[in-house]
Structure 1
Amino acid sequence: MKTRIHPELRPVVFRDRAADVAFLTRSTADSARTIEWQDGHTYPLIDVEISSASHPFYTGTSRVLDTEGRVERFERRYGRTSAARA
């Protein structure tokens, strides 16, 4: 590895604002905001909108979209074309 070309890897706390969960991990990201972690040390804090703690795919709370009746609703709104009737 070449020296002095890679960004510094350091501990950073990512806080999921939707689930109110925080993760301590290593990252090259930096922030002016800090937070005191459970071990008593202060780390840079980065707020994220969504993470594995709040994403529907990872939490198993994903919604199933109702696709039944979409074609009928489209045909009711816009009618059938003459090519579709033949």
Structure 2
Amino acid sequence: MLEIRPNCEWCDKDLPPDSNEARICSYECTYCSECAETVLHNVCATFGGGFAQRPIRPIITAVARNLVTIANALCRSRQKWAAPTP
């Protein structure tokens, strides 16, 4: 799973999981769009590769996560209990 680093590795700007400003290299070095474009000129300072926009990970509360887990379990159990065809 992709590691969602919380800050720009250059300027320490906060980059929450749902930020559109986060940029990552193929090794998941994380920078804000400002640093990636204007300071680093789209070249990772550590590995030399380019950057892509980091995928957004929606912030899900613990309650919502539990509800999704329960809903998934219910869906799986319904599939197992489907009526046999004659």
Is the pair's TM-score, using the shorter chain for normalization, greater than 0.5? no
Q: Greater strand percent: which structure?
A: 1
Higher Cα Rg, which structure:
1
Q: Greater helix percent: which structure?
A: 2
